[in-house]
Amino acid sequence: MTDHPSRAGASPFRQLSRRSVLAGATASAVVPVTAMNGVPAAAAPAKRGDTRRITMYAEELPNGLIGYGTSPGEATVPGPVLEMWEGDTLEIELVNNTDRKLSIHPHGVDYDVDSDGTPLNASVNEPGQRRTYVWHSHGPYKAKGNRWMPGSAGYWHYHDHAMGTPHGTEGINKGLYGALIVRRKGDVLPDRRFTVVFNGMTINNRTAPDAPLFRARLGERVEFVAIGQGDLFHTFHMHAHRWTDNRTGMLEGPHDTSPSIDNKDLNPGSSFGFQVIAGDGVGPGAWMYHCHVQFHSDQGMAGIFLVLNEDGSVPEGAQAALDRYRDQG
């Protein structure tokens, strides 16, 4: 399940064995707080209000990419999913193993100026430097005027804000970004989770036929975190699956007035997330996800969400579809 450009030698769409495509994935050891694409963190904190400390490494990767990782030599594009519960604090010691100035800047959570991750506030890592960034989160609370101010829960993201320009344009372009999820007590956890970043004309800095291949079994609860970066506008579309356009992607109840959608603007700096039941009502198969800007999908902003049979085998016809995808690209 390593779909990252720095790791995948061959296209992920080459012949799949009919069984065990996901074997081992759910049993993978995962570091607390963070997780790779498709493998949720095993140990999301059971109670809220924890303070946890992790180390992250910014490293150069092949093909001119730069990524974040939680161990030396393990950087990926996108970086690991960081996950918190409302009330948690996350202390990130960022190790800059590159020869460029860079930083980590989060969306959604609380941080003081020293953790802003900007040249403006002189809170960046010089080449080779270690530096700690502290992110707090909180639940909804009543402010003066007896009004409820929003909590931190959301599908957020983090990214460099220092390389190349004061806004990190070069760092983002090269892959310094990842998903940040803050959950509210009671939020349902997915069986599987994927990060999809529309960055420039790429998906996770890749294009068809090498765009990310996401795999889940029929009936699994799958969470997508969609993030926009770069200079272009995009719309994220998924075939045969839809979600509610609210905080969680699910209805609060049958009277929730939020619209159901399957296509949503995904522009620079924005992010959203949602959960679907893989293949529910539509069956297994190779389902496309893509930018719906025609010119972008034609240029390679299209990938596959492969819904396997319940037993993990590849459904009828899916390999042929994957072959066509690879050949079209």
Give residues in contact with Cu ion (CB under 5 A): 234, 291, 293, 296
From the list Cu ion, its own copies, none, which binds 89 (C-beta under 5 to 8 Å, kind-based)?
A: none
How deeply is 212 buried, as exposed, middle or buried, from its count of CB atoms within 10 A (0-12, 13-18, 19+)?
buried
- Rounded to the nearest whole angstrom, what is the least distance from the CB of residue 296 to Cu ion in the complex? 3
- Rounded to the nearest whole angstrom, what is the least distance from the CB of residue 275 to its own copies in the complex? 8
- Rounded to the nearest whole angstrom, what is the least distance from the CB of residue 274 to Cu ion in the complex? 19
Residue type, 314: V
Token pair of 120 as six digits: 């403006």
Do the beta carbons of residue 223 and residue 317 sit within 8 Å? no
Indicate the residue among 15 and 294 with the shorter CB distance to its own copies.
Answer: 294
Helix (H) or strand (E) holding 320: helix 318-328
CA dist 310 and 284 (Å) reads 9
CA dist 83 and 244 (Å) reads 22
Indicate the residue among 31 and 268 with the shorter CB distance to its own copies.
Answer: 268
- Rounded to the nearest whole angstrom, what is the least distance from the CB of residue 149 to Cu ion in the complex? 27
Indicate the residue among 73 and 281 with the shorter CB distance to its own copies.
Answer: 281
From the list Cu ion, its own copies, none, which binds 267 (C-beta under 5 to 8 Å, kind-based)?
A: its own copies
Indicate the residue among 48 and 292 with the shorter CB distance to its own copies.
Answer: 292
232 strand-pairing partners: none
Strands 213-217 vs 302-308: parallel, antiparallel or unpaired: parallel
Indicate the residue among 74 and 187 with the shorter CB distance to its own copies.
Answer: 187
- Rounded to the nearest whole angstrom, what is the least distance from the CB of residue 8 to its own copies in the complex? 21
